[in-house]
Amino acid sequence: MLKGAKTEEDYKRVKEAIEKLDGVFKVDYEMAAEVVGVDYDDEKVSKEQIKSAVDSLGYTLIV
């Protein structure tokens, strides 16, 4: 769940931030459901690192 993102631009910023992390393969989002899906290699990047990248933008990612 993604909290604090309201517009398409917000979701694009979050997507771009997550995609920059090493080990992330694909990022999708569904604005209506406030959901961000991330396909990643958990040996290269953790849920906590993904959450930190999103939180640093001022949004809250609930993992």
Domain architecture of the chain: domains with CATH: 2-61 (3.30.70.100)
Q: Which residues are CB-contacts of 58 (< 8 A; sequence separation ≥ 6)? A: 4
**Residue 40 pLDDT exceeds 90:** yes
Confidence of residue 26 (pLDDT cuts 50, 70, 90): very high
Query: What is the DSSP code (8-state) at residue 34?
Result: T
- Amino acid (one-letter) located at 6: K
- Mean pLDDT estimate for the chain: 96
pLDDT of residue 63 exceeding 90: no
% of residues, the chain, pLDDT over 70:
100
Helix runs in the chain, H state only = 8-19, 47-55
Q: State CA 28 to chain mean position distance.
A: 9
